[in-house]
Structure 1
Amino acid sequence: MSPRAEAPAPEAAEVRRFGPSQRWVHRGTAALMGVCVATAACLYVPQLAELVGRRELVVRVHEFAGAALPLPVLLGLASRAFRVDLRLLNRFGPHDRVWLRAALRRDRRPQSRPAGKFNAGQKVYASWIAGATLVMLGTGLLMWFTHLTPLVWRTGATFVHDWLALTVGIVLAGHVGMAVADPEARRGLRTGRVSRAWARTEHPLWRP
């Protein structure tokens, strides 16, 4: 008599999206970026400056938080899982162009926005914020160590730093707004797990 065929195991309702290293890099970066934005607002918005006071302390907190901003990513490189995610974020494929065209048309149908573990919008955001952070760090150091560069360099650095800071604030507000609108994505960063149904809808090319 032939052995009875085994029934396939039922699929788990949840899948693992991020491990501890990816989550802690995100939290550390978010915390430092939040400090930079908050202290910058206290330095440039008169009402906040009057409310907080102690400008010299605020400046020092802003400087050290900005200088430490790359540290979570640098420490995260020790994790293989984080390095794998970085490679995925840095790799654009044909499906990413399809996603971007759908986003520009405001086509929100899931089938029109193919995505792997990260969609094209997340890849563009990650690339832009990484580049902006490096520019902010470089110009900030020129403003911090004033005796190392000529006046014209410091003037240019101040101009770029201030206007890029405003742009970063706007982009971050959009990033936070999109996160607020997607509780399942937030749960993935908080707990590391997401529902399989969400993964299939939002990231159909991802094979966890």
Structure 2
Amino acid sequence: MRRFSRGERWVHRGTAWLMIVCVVSAACLYVPQFAELVGRRALVVDVHKWSGLLLPLPFLLGLASRAFRTDLRLLNRYGAHDRRWLSAVRHRDPRAKTRWAGKFNAGQKVFAAWVGGAVLVMLGTGLVMWRTDLFPLLWRTSSTFVHDWLALALGLVLLGHIGLALRDPEARRGMRTGSVDPGWAEREHPLWRR
């Protein structure tokens, strides 16, 4: 069963690779042991800045894809079934949770919204930190604080995303090939399957 178009998969891959470069280069800038291993701090700073600036690019290019725009609309719509899904998660009822999932379950919708917002905040605070000549000291200090703590939160959320993906080989196959088994779709996303 077709789940993702080629364009959607390329948006995901491009975003993933740029995010990995951002996170690894940030770790090399922030963790002294990694900084010593890599050295060449100026190069790492440049790689981090440019990967961060380019991070919205896959999303913007994806807007040319009708399938990507359709999925964005699905990700932006919360309905009664999403509230039921979140309630099932809160009450730790895995059987009820799967009954209320469309193409994207409510957890995937929350994740997409949070990461999208986090990327914009990281981009904004990163620009303030980069262009120190344009902003007052208070803005730069505040941006550094927000950027550092949000980076930590984003790293943890991304680890959770990767962990969930590793537990579901069929979901990974859907992102890799674009197709999923109809039985998996019926079990995990029954509202979409129907």
TM-score (norm. length: structure 2): 0.98
Distance in 1 of aligned mates of 2:59 and 2:92: 32
Decide whether the 8 Å contact of 1:110 with 1:202 is kept in 2. Answer: no
Distance in 2 of aligned mates of 1:90 and 1:156: 30
The alpha-carbon deviation at position 207 of structure 1 amounts to 3.8
Distance in 2 of aligned mates of 1:18 and 1:112: 20
Partner AA of 1:107 in structure 2: D
Q: Which residue of 2 aligns with 1:159?
A: 145
Distance in 2 of aligned mates of 1:27 and 1:95: 29
Q: Which residue of 1 aligns with 2:40?
A: 54
Distance in 2 of aligned mates of 1:173 and 1:107: 23
Q: RMSD between aligned alpha carbons?
A: 1.1
2:178 to 165, 181, 192: 192
Q: Which residue of 1 aligns with 2:166?
A: 180
1:41-64 C-alpha deviation (Å, 9 max, x unpaired): 111111111111111100100000
1:49-85 C-alpha deviation (Å, 9 max, x unpaired): 1111111100100000000000000000001110000
| Structure with bigger gyration radius | 1
Distance in 2 of aligned mates of 1:22 and 1:54: 35
Distance in 1 of aligned mates of 2:129 and 2:67: 36
Decide whether the 8 Å contact of 1:98 with 1:112 is kept in 2. Answer: no
Distance in 1 of aligned mates of 2:92 and 2:193: 26
Partner AA of 1:101 in structure 2: S
CA separation of 1:52 and 1:176: change in aligned 2, threshold 3 A: same
TM-score (norm. length: structure 1): 0.91
Distance in 2 of aligned mates of 1:137 and 1:73: 14
Secondary structure (helix, strand or coil) at the match of 1:194 reads coil
1:128-182 C-alpha deviation (Å, 9 max, x unpaired): 0000000000000000011111111000000000000000000000000000000
2:52 is the counterpart of 1:66: yes
Structure 1, 96-105 or 160-169: larger mean CA deviation: 96-105
The alpha-carbon deviation at position 112 of structure 1 amounts to 5.4
Q: Which residue of 1 aligns with 2:83?
A: 97
Structure 2 unmatched runs, 5+? none
Q: Which residue of 1 aligns with 2:109?
A: 123
Partner AA of 1:86 in structure 2: L
Distance in 1 of aligned mates of 2:95 and 2:45: 46
1:23-53 C-alpha deviation (Å, 9 max, x unpaired): 0000000000000000011111111111111
Partner AA of 1:17 in structure 2: R
2:69 is the counterpart of 1:83: yes
Distance in 2 of aligned mates of 1:118 and 1:112: 11
Identical pairs, percent: 70
Structure 1 unmatched runs, 5+? 1-14
**Structure with higher helix content:** 2
